[in-house]
Amino acid sequence: MRGSTAVPLSPMITIQDYQLAAITVFTIGFMGTICNSLVAVFTRRLASLNNAFGRLTASQAAGEMILCGTFAFYFSPMVYFDSPWMKQHAQYAGVVLLMCYNICIVSHLFIALNRMCAICFPLKYDICFSYRNTTYLIVFSWVLSILLPFFLHGIGECNLLYSDSAWVFMFRATERCGFISWYFDFGQDFAVVVFIAIIDTITIIRVRLTSAEIQKSGCRVTTSKRTRDVTFLKQAVAQGIIFAVELYTYFFLGWEFTNKWMIFLFTTVAWNIVHCCDP
């Protein structure tokens, strides 16, 4: 993921500006770290979530915990204390953020497939999402999410650099970086979000059809069952919308402004809020 190669034009930034930006990111990032840590722990301890869905959710929460923690405990001190050494090595933090974002979005994809399989193919669910297969999916999501940014952004010249102009990570302004950021970051992420939306739409349609069939057969659908269906619908739609909006704000909307605070709001802050609220 992350950002435009354009450099925003902003007036002189004061020490108070640095401190306010750092405190804002720390507050959101710290809350996200705590929330995702709790999700990762409780999904493994609750008996009702001792299944493939719970394990995939815990894996996603672990990735988001690291992402939020990187913002809270590296990005925020770097900005607050205006540390030259931390800024010099910020590109490594940027690679970690890219890895964690990929873990999150790939985990979302597998969770969507898990829901669809449970609803559309219940007889095959235990086979498709057995303990072993779920382990393979989790390992695959982490290995792929780590290796891709490592080779594209970690050891190559297309680094994700920190810019003081608006406290934001941006790709290096080269033709190669432009190609990679467009096709391998934005393009890849947007394609996964669209695929998740398609999967969730199929699942929702199946849920509705099943409910209609039950009603026609004379069986009653309980209020709690209907409430769960509505909650599921809202959650599936909301997650897709939130990720799509965040991609749009970071890659496009944020760079329509020249004011540093607006760029900061629609890029760094938006990125943090999405992963703070995602659990």
**pLDDT tens per residue, range 256-272:** 999 999 999 999 999 99
Asked whether residue 3 is assigned to any structural domain, the reply reads no
Taking every pair of Cα atoms in the chain, the longest distance, rounded to a whole number of angstroms, is 70
Least confident range of 2-11, 94-103, 266-275? 2-11
**Rounded CA separation 216/198 (Å):** 27
Least confident range of 48-52, 175-179, 204-208? 204-208
pLDDT at 136 > cutoff 50:
yes
Which pLDDT value is given to residue 3?
Answer: 45
Token output for 22:
């750092």
Least confident range of 53-62, 113-122, 153-162, 164-173? 153-162
pLDDT band with cut points at 50, 70 and 90 for residue 203 = confident
Average pLDDT over residues 88-116: 95
Asked whether residue 7 is assigned to any structural domain, the reply reads no
Asked whether residue 8 is assigned to any structural domain, the reply reads no
Average pLDDT over residues 205-216: 76
Which pLDDT value is given to residue 154?
Answer: 82
Give pLDDT tens digits for 217-252: 656 555 566 566 667 667 777 877 888 899 999 999
Which pLDDT value is given to residue 229?
Answer: 61
Q: What is the pTM of this model?
A: 0.90
pLDDT band with cut points at 50, 70 and 90 for residue 5 = very low
Asked whether residue 56 is assigned to any structural domain, the reply reads yes
Which pLDDT value is given to residue 19?
Answer: 96
Give 10 or 93, the one with higher predicted confidence. 93
Which residues face 141 on adjacent strands?
A: none
Which pLDDT value is given to residue 228?
Answer: 67
Domain count, the chain: 1
Asked whether residue 105 is assigned to any structural domain, the reply reads yes
Asked if residue 1 lies in contact with residue 185, where contact means CB atoms within 8 angstroms, the answer is yes
Q: What CATH number is associated with residue 99?
A: 1.20.1070.10
Asked whether residue 137 is assigned to any structural domain, the reply reads yes
Q: Which residues span the domain enclosing 255?
A: 15-277
Asked whether residue 6 is assigned to any structural domain, the reply reads no
pLDDT at 9 > cutoff 60:
no
Round the average pLDDT of the chain to a whole number and report it. 88
pLDDT band with cut points at 50, 70 and 90 for residue 204 = confident
pLDDT at 4 > cutoff 90:
no
